[in-house]
Amino acid sequence: MAVSLNLYCNEAPNEIVVSCEAYDDDDDDNESDHCSVDYDDDLLINLFETEVYQMLESKVVSSRFHHNIVTARKDAIQWMLKVHCFYRFRPETAYLSISYMDRFLSARPFPQGKGWPMQLLSVSCLSLAAKMEETAVPFLLDLQIMKPRFLFKPKTVQRMEVLVMQTLNWRLRIITPFDFVYCFIARISSCFNDSHQPNRLCHLFSLASDLIIDICIAAIDSLDYPPSAIAAAVVLWITNLSVDEQNLGHLHNGVNQGMVKKIYKVIEGKRSSLKLMPQSPTCVLEAALLCKEIAKYC
């Protein structure tokens, strides 16, 4: 499958929107890739500082989400995750695509009672997220698979991409829970002598990735939670540890204990609906790459 690595795909079709009655899905798979990032205490401190600035800047107001938007959001996310699974994108891509959409919806009014605006937004957000995280990005027409209600010409999606970026003040590179979760898993595992069990570490990261995405789906106000707190709550949850000073101390003293408790309760309250995604390419990276990444913190 041909791929484009540019922010704007070099495609030049007509600028129209057509109803998508039938669309043949491409059977080719793209291998997910992962870039190694070397963390140390100084970098973690910088992440915490950037996170604070990011939270002050976002000012997410989830109460502005109309009921119809909530329903449309759910459908849009389901479609994005199907495409995400098909192309075996990284879990960070799924998180960013949902984050972009929620930030956009909370920042400006959106047309009610029409299906195509939300579909166009979801295509644009997924495209932008893939361009930020993936090494191989499908062309915009190839991205619109899994039986979308509408098929948009690339130039239409490109214009929507610009609108999304303008609305987000061009801040596409943001701090996410994934910036913290590798280190947190390694640190909590080393405290309980799990750091030399690669399969265990890989399994924990897979669970953490799925749960982070599930929280993002289920909790519209998840953007109001610090990414570090989400990562900490998820790691404590999947390792069956309580939220207390000692366990948080194993992670980092910069974690907000009060916010971690709040997120932990959200997970507890929604545990029946927060069903971890099946073991599939969605939110699952290659085991060897995972072990190599997490082992750096042990």
Domains of the chain by residue range: 62-168, 177-269
| Domain 62-168 class, CATH top level | mainly alpha
Highest-scoring range by mean pLDDT, 50-64, 125-139, 244-258: 125-139
Highest-scoring range by mean pLDDT, 133-137, 185-189, 193-197: 133-137
Of residues 68 and 28, more confidently modeled:
68
**Segment 222-244 mean pLDDT:** 91
Does the structure show a pLDDT above 90 at 83? Answer: yes
Does the structure show a pLDDT above 80 at 183? Answer: yes
Kindly report the average pLDDT of the chain as a whole number: 77
Give the lowest-confidence range in 8-22, 35-49, 206-220: 8-22
Selection from 179, 5, 171, 159 nearest residue 100 by Cα: 171
CA distance 43 to 190: 20
Does the structure show a pLDDT above 80 at 93? Answer: yes
**How many CB atoms are closer than 10 A to CB 250?**
17
**Segment 26-41 mean pLDDT:** 44
Give the lowest-confidence range in 13-22, 86-95, 221-230, 244-253: 13-22
**Segment 242-253 mean pLDDT:** 90
| pTM of the predicted protein model | 0.75
Highest-scoring range by mean pLDDT, 37-46, 251-260, 285-294: 251-260
**Segment 104-116 mean pLDDT:** 78
SS3 content of the chain, % helix, strand, coil (to 5): 60, 5, 40
Does the structure show a pLDDT above 90 at 161? Answer: yes
CA distance 176 to 179: 6
Give the lowest-confidence range in 50-54, 157-161, 165-169: 50-54
Residue 3's φ and ψ, nearest 5 degrees, are -130, 160
C-alpha dist (Å) from residue 136 to 6, 33, 90, 145: 10, 9, 11, 16
Residue reference for tokens 């075996």: 88
Read off the pLDDT band of 68 (50, 70, 90): low
Summarize pLDDT for 259-277 with one digit per residue, the tens.
999 999 988 877 655 544 4
Read off the pLDDT band of 148 (50, 70, 90): confident
Of residues 296 and 168, more confidently modeled:
168
Beta bridge mates, 152: 17
**Segment 30-34 mean pLDDT:** 38
Tokens of 269: 């309250």
Does the structure show a pLDDT above 60 at 155? Answer: yes
Highest-scoring range by mean pLDDT, 38-47, 58-67, 92-101, 108-117: 92-101
